[in-house]
């Protein structure tokens, strides 16, 4: 599976406690019921750390080669 978490702007549910720090509750939900999220490298890192115990290799792709 591949998720473009760095550019993601919507989330279907806030049930996963690991996603909650990135949900923009002030922006409210879309008319379709999606949650707005603050995207960027931080959610990508959090998702990789959460998945790490279950993977032999984690591939993180960025739009730019600079993580600074």
Q: What is the pLDDT of residue 3?
A: 57
Q: What is the pLDDT of residue 5?
A: 62
Q: What is the pLDDT of residue 58?
A: 64
Give the model confidence (pLDDT) of 7-63 as tens digits.
778 878 887 787 888 888 999 899 999 999 887 788 878 888 888 888 777 677 777
Q: Parse the chain into domains and list their residue ranges.
A: 10-54
Sign of the alpha-carbon torsion through 46, 51, 53, 59: negative
| Claim: this prediction has a pTM higher than 0.85 | no
Q: What is the pLDDT of residue 42?
A: 83
| Whether residue 1 has pLDDT greater than 50 | no
Cα(56)–Cα(23) distance, rounded to whole angstroms? 29
């Amino acid at each position: 599976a591949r998720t473009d978490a760095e550019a993601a702007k919507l989330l279907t549910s806030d049930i996963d406690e690991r996603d909650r720090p990135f949900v923009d509750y002030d922006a409210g939900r879309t008319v379709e019921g999606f949650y707005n999220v603050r995207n960027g490298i931080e959610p990508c890192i959090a998702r990789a750390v959460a998945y790490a115990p279950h993977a032999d290799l984690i591939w993180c792709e960025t739009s730019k080669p600079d993580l600074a």
